[in-house]
């Protein structure tokens, strides 16, 4: 099966892929293991799927770009990405341009958000109790045993269960964008893991451990209602958060990139609530947001490995009301 964005060995634009599509499904999804699972199930169910893996920050733009292309009655399937306030207008445009939109997600939506989007799509399903791959599986391939195995191993990693062998390997391999198709194609071929994926994992282990060590060196603790750790990101946010929690006994871990984007993990179910205060969202134990860094903030963070935004996050955590 032809890899996404590649034609005769050359990278091509998404617009060209969509305009030249032979099938009737365009899949817009996130860029992690859960998204890979969703995409594999789309490809097991349909032929000639065009896929766009997207970060949350670029979702609104990617959706709008696709919406403005000719839909021709084909399906635009969105998975594993939550509500965005900018998406309603894009969905209106998509409908006008002939797209039939389906949206499956496991992030938290408010009733108002669901009510806003429902009239603009053919199908909307939000279920926070499982991973997005599990939702897609139950809709597209509910009786297929291999699809069930994919959903099980993906949910194990995505929901932080860590009970299924190899889910950790797959999850960490999929933290790098260039590995998504490799894992996806393994799923589509009927497997769950292969020698190539294991080799990739071995290659990133040393890099991951070095990144975590650097983050631990610059970790700062603030204590109040919760014990919160703030650390710069050098890669592998989930694994870094786990390492900090294991060593320092923290309640909340905030891993911050140089551009102000952060990942938050928490023992109390508040990550998504705090992240919403910083133009983000996610799940109760894991979410993400953005500190609005000025040029001065970026320079300060690069040099001192800290930012005044730590105080703002701490204040938000002190005030948050657990659901």
For the entire predicted model, the pTM comes to: 0.83
Q: What is the pLDDT of residue 116?
A: 98
Residues 91 and 34 in one domain: yes
| Mean pLDDT calculated for residue range 303-311 | 96
* Together in a domain, 130 and 237: no
Position 251 scores a pLDDT of: 98
Q: Mean pLDDT, to the nearest integer, of 203-209?
A: 90
Shared-domain flag, residues 214 and 166 = no
pLDDT at site 3: 45
Kindly state whether residues 236 and 116 are assigned to the same domain. no
Which tokens sit at 244?
A: 């900090």
Residue 206's pLDDT is: 86
Over residues 48-83, the pLDDT tens digits come to 999 999 998 899 999 999 999 999 999 999 999 999
Mutual angle of helices 195-217 and 180-188, in 10-degree steps: 140
Mean pLDDT of 242-251: 97
The label of the residue with tokens 């108002």 reads 112
201 found inside a domain = no
Residue where one domain finishes, among candidates 193, 227, 242 = 193
Helix axes 132-140, 145-158, angle to 10 degrees: 160
Radius of gyration of the chain (CA): 20
Domain boundary among 144, 162, 193: 193
pLDDT of residue 11: 55
- 3/190: higher pLDDT: 190
Cβ neighbour number for residue 176 with a 10 Å cutoff: 15
Residues 11 and 132 in one domain: yes
| Residue 124 placed within a domain | yes
DSSP state for residue 2 in the 8-state scheme: P
Average pLDDT, the chain: 94
Residue span of the structural domain in which 235 resides: 210-319
Write the DSSP symbol of residue 56.
S
Q: Looking at the domain assignment, is residue 176 inside a domain?
A: yes
Closest CA to 174 of 188, 190, 186: 186
For residue range 156-179, what is the model confidence (pLDDT) as tens digits? 999 878 899 899 999 999 999 999
Q: Where are the beta strands (DSSP E) in the chain?
A: 6-7, 10-11, 25-29, 49-53, 75-79, 100-105, 123-126, 220-223, 227-232, 252-256, 261-266, 281-282, 286-290
Model confidence pLDDT, tens digit, residues 1-38:
444 544 444 457 889 999 999 999 999 999 999 999 99
Domain co-membership, 221 together with 172 = no
Phi, psi of 214 (to 5 degrees): -65, -40
Residue 137 has pLDDT above 90, yes or no: yes
pLDDT at 296: 94
Q: Are residues 27 and 165 in the same domain?
A: yes
């Amino acid at each position: 099966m032809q890899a996404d964005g590649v034609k005769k060995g050359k990278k091509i634009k998404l617009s060209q892929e969509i305009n030249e599509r032979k099938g009737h499904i365009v899949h817009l999804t996130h860029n992690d293991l859960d998204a890979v699972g969703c995409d594999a199930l789309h490809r097991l169910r349909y032929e000639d799927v065009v896929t766009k893996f997207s970060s949350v920050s670029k979702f609104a733009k990617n959706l709008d770009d696709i919406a403005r292309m000719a839909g021709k009655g084909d399906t635009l399937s969105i998975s594993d990405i939550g509500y965005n306030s900018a998406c309603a207008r894009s969905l209106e445009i998509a409908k006008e341009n002939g797209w039939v939109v389906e949206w499956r997600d496991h992030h938290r939506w408010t009733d108002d958000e669901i009510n806003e989007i429902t009239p603009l799509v053919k199908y909307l399903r939000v279920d926070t109790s499982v991973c997005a791959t599990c939702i897609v599986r139950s809709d597209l391939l509910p009786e297929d045993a291999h699809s069930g195995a994919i959903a099980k191993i993906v949910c194990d990693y995505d929901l932080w269960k860590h009970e299924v062998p190899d889910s950790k390997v797959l999850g960490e391999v999929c933290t790098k964008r260039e590995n998504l198709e490799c894992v996806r194609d393994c799923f589509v071929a009927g497997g769950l893991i292969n020698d190539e994926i294991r080799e990739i994992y071995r290659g990133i282990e040393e890099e991951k451990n070095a990144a975590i060590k650097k983050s631990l060196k610059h970790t700062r603790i603030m204590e109040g209602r919760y014990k919160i750790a703030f650390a710069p990101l050098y890669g592998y946010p989930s694994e870094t958060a786990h390492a900090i929690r294991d060593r320092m006994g923290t309640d909340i871990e905030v891993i911050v990139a140089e551009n102000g984007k952060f990942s938050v993990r928490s023992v109390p179910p508040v990550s998504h609530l705090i992240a919403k205060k910083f133009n983000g969202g996610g799940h109760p134990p894991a979410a993400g947001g953005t500190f609005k860094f000025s040029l001065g903030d970026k320079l300060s963070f690069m040099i001192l490995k800290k930012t005044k935004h730590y105080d703002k996050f701490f204040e938000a955590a002190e005030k948050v009301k657990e659901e």
